[in-house]
Amino acid sequence: MRKIDNRTLAQMGLNPDLPKHVAIIMDGNGRWASKKLLPRTYGHREGMERLTGLVRFVSDIGIESLTLYAFSTENWKRPQHEIDALFGLLIEYFDKQIAELHKNGVRITLLGDDVRFSEEVRQAIRNATTITKGNRGLKLNLALNYGSRAEILRAAKSIVEDVNRGILLPENIDEHEFESRLYTSNLPQVDLVIRTGGEQRLSNFLLYQAAYAELIFVKDYWPDFSDDRFIEVLREFQNRNRRYGGL
Ligand code: FPP
């Protein structure tokens, strides 16, 4: 629920016209740890701490929707112990945070396919999404086992199936119909994509949804991406001139 009023926003150098939907590629946990001569999994733990803090801030500031790229379809190529550590952190995150998230009206959803997860992980996600289902505050969308190409193919296949079954006419296939079959169907348009860690690419994240999003790349590794840096990014967003192809 929103806790920061317009006056406080102004003190941060922000106007009330915040992006409705922010999506973040949380990159750089491994490099953050290596720089400190620590195992990569320490970086992920710090990453989880930062995620916890930023979600709190995003909820307080009153942004409607936050999508976090937490595990991509390509991340299965990582060593098993790192995959296990990441999902262990996810379970820990829900265990520790669900009460506060629920109290603050956060609604958790999964973007991605849960078939490859262990029963324990699936249960943790199901639990978090079920408890928070009716909430009206921040929409917190975790992209897990998510890949944008797979998502687009899935939508295309479901359209073909419905056409073959005679319940959808080809002439009725439009953007709205297509978007209703993406994981993001109930979310506002993505206004802002942030990637931490210094790389400048989308890495199979929200390729369709980011069509008109502003892209902002920051050098900080994810564990170092502070609330203050996030405010700077929001200021940059508000200074951009969004034309959507017009003049
Ligand atoms: C990228 O860092 C980050 C990830 C692959 C996962 C993001 C995970 C977290 C923020 C913590 C997990 C917590 C939850 C609740 C899901 P990287 O390993 O690719 O970093 P590198 O590019 O420096 O190697």
Residue 76: inside a domain: yes
Mean pLDDT across the chain: 97
Decide if 1 is inside a domain.
no
**Structure-token pair, residue 63:** 């942004």
Return the bridge partners of 111, or none: 143
The pLDDT assigned to 244 comes to 80
- Annotated active-site residue 75? The verdict is yes
- On the question of pLDDT at 138 being above 90, the answer is yes
Residue 95: per-residue pLDDT: 97
Ligand 1 pocket mutation, candidates 42, 204, 222, criterion most atoms within 8 A of CB? 222
* 7 within a domain of the structure (yes/no): no
Q: Which tokens hold the place of 151?
A: 């998502």
Query: 3-state SS of the chain?
Result: CCCCCHHHHHHCCCCCCCCCEEEEECCCHHHHHHHCCCCHHHHHHHHHHHHHHHHHHHHHHCCCEEEEEEEEHHHHHCCHHHHHHHHHHHHHHHHHHHHHHHHCCCEEEEECCCCCCCHHHHHHHHHHHHHHCCCCCCEEEEEEEECHHHHHHHHHHHHHHHHHCCCCCHHHCCHHHHHCCCCCCCCCCCCEEEECCCCCCCCCCCCCCCCCCEEEECCCCHHHCCHHHHHHHHHHHHHCCCCCCCC
What residue owns the CA closest to ligand 1's atom 8?
70
> What's the pLDDT score for residue 1?
81
Cα–ligand 1 centroid distance for 44 (angstroms): 5
Share of the chain above pLDDT 90, in %: 96
Task: Give the domain extent around 46.
Answer: 20-147+192-238
| 153 lies in some domain | no
Cβ of 89 below 6 Å from ligand 1? yes
Q: Does ligand 1 come within 6 angstroms of the Cβ of 45?
A: no
Q: Which two tokens stand for residue 57?
A: 């801030």
Q: pLDDT tens digits, residue range 76-104? A: 999 999 999 999 999 999 999 999 999 99
Q: Does some domain include residue 41? A: yes
Distance of CA 119 to the CA centre of its chain: 23
pLDDT tens by residue, 4-14: 999 999 999 99
Burial of 125 (0-12, 13-18, 19+ CB in 10 A): buried
Distance, CA of 193 to CA of 202 (rounded, Å): 9
pLDDT in tens, 179-221: 999 999 999 999 999 999 999 999 999 999 999 999 999 999 9
Distance 6 CA to ligand 1 centre (A): 33
Domain contains 90 = yes
Structural domains in the chain (count): 1
Amino acid of residue 146: Y
pLDDT of residue 99: 98
pLDDT at 74: 94
Q: Are 68 and 51 in contact (CB under 8 A)?
A: yes
CATH value at residue 198: 3.40.1180.10
Does the C-beta of 137 come closer than 6 Å to ligand 1?
A: no
Q: Which is it for the CA torsion 198, 91, 83, 118, positive or negative?
A: negative
Report the nearest atom of ligand 1 relative to the CA of 70: 7
- CA–CA distance from 226 to each of 63, 196, 218 (Å)? 17, 11, 11
- Residue closest via CA to ligand 1's atom 1 equals 27
Report if residue 126 sits inside a domain. Answer: yes
Residue 101 CB–ligand 1 contact under 6 Å: no
The verdict on the CB of residue 31 being under 6 Å from ligand 1 is yes
For the chain, report the end-to-end CA distance as a whole number of angstroms: 36
Within-domain flag for 165: no
- Identify the band that residue 246 occupies on the pLDDT scale cut at 50, 70 and 90: confident
Of all residues in the chain, the percent with pLDDT exceeding 70 is 100
227 is an active site residue: no
Residues in the chain: 247
